[in-house]
Structure 1
């Protein structure tokens, strides 16, 4: 990855977002199918579920909100909890592939757009800059959750 420490604002923000995206996808690097599905906490949070949720938030913010495509057209569930559900057809590879594809599409959506461009979020308007920063925060938080789960799984081996 290019050095972003002295980059312009856009390069810095999108570079930080890509770093967090890489942290999310790396959660799947050394987990088996069984480990990826393992529930170590009472919630729906699993390693694969976290990556599926990250795919969901990419689609909510960039594919739907920024691109202006209705949520049902993007194929988004109505509630957040559903975004963590790992079904029988999911595999580590398919979850990884879906996430990488969502990130690629998000980059395409953002390409050429001004960071000051505004989008509706609930009852307020937010800038694309806000959305990118929100995504950095969201993915960093979930990558931290995932790191703890992976550490617990590795300790079981």
Structure 2
């Protein structure tokens, strides 16, 4: 595959990831602090918790695994990641951090070849067994699936909160039609 084809592939995958990110942010648009903190599914997580998780997923895979950002690696190795949101973080804080993280991730993606190998592997989280992502391509596909899965969960949560639905075929809330 030529360098130009690889760049097109990277941008195509980034486009799919951006679509899922937009879905996450869009389905939560207009929710107040109480609803962002409300757990409505049996799992017990709230939209705020889930966006915090998506933020850390992007930090882990792009700044950690792909860019080997030492500060990120040290934080992840110390176990400061995942679902637990500091109580003082408002829903707006968590959403702002997700948007900022998306920008940081996009800079890493834009500066990295699609077939570049990971610069660091999170052994503490995933071990050194047979499951391992091998390139930016695989990381992008993994994060797309993770983000899309959680966007679907947020669709269910939003519909339970106030009946709002998201039309996946055109990335707009149902109320826009």
**Which TM-score band (shorter chain)?**
0.7 to 0.9
Does residue 33 of the first structure (1) align with residue 33 of the second (2)? yes
**Which structure has the greater CA radius of gyration?**
2
- For residues 41 and 134 of structure 2, the distance between their equivalents in structure 1, rounded to whole angstroms, comes to 33
Q: Does 1:109 align with 2:108?
A: yes
RMSD: 2.1
TM-fit CA distance, 1:112: 2.6
Q: Does 1:128 align with 2:99?
A: no
d(CA) in 2 for partners of 1:146 and 1:130?
24
Deviation at 1:54, TM superposition (A): 0.5
Separation in 1 of the partners of 2:143 and 2:133? Answer: 16
Q: 1:125–1:135: structure 2 CA closer, same or farther, 3 Å change rule? A: closer
1:53 counterpart residue number:
53
Q: Which runs of 5+ in 1 are unaligned?
A: 1-6
**Alpha-carbon shift at residue 43 of structure 1 (Å):** 2.5
Distance in 2 (CA, whole Å) between partners of 1:125 and 1:30 is 36
Aligned to 1:10: 10
TM-score using structure 1 length = 0.82
Q: Which moved more, 1:120-129 or 1:47-56?
A: 120-129
Contiguous gaps of at least 5 residues in structure 2: 1-6, 122-126, 164-177
TM-score normalised over the length of structure 2: 0.74
Deviations, residues 32-66 of structure 1 (Å, cap 9, x unaligned): 11111111123242111111111010001011111
CA distance in 2, matches of 1:16, 1:146: 18
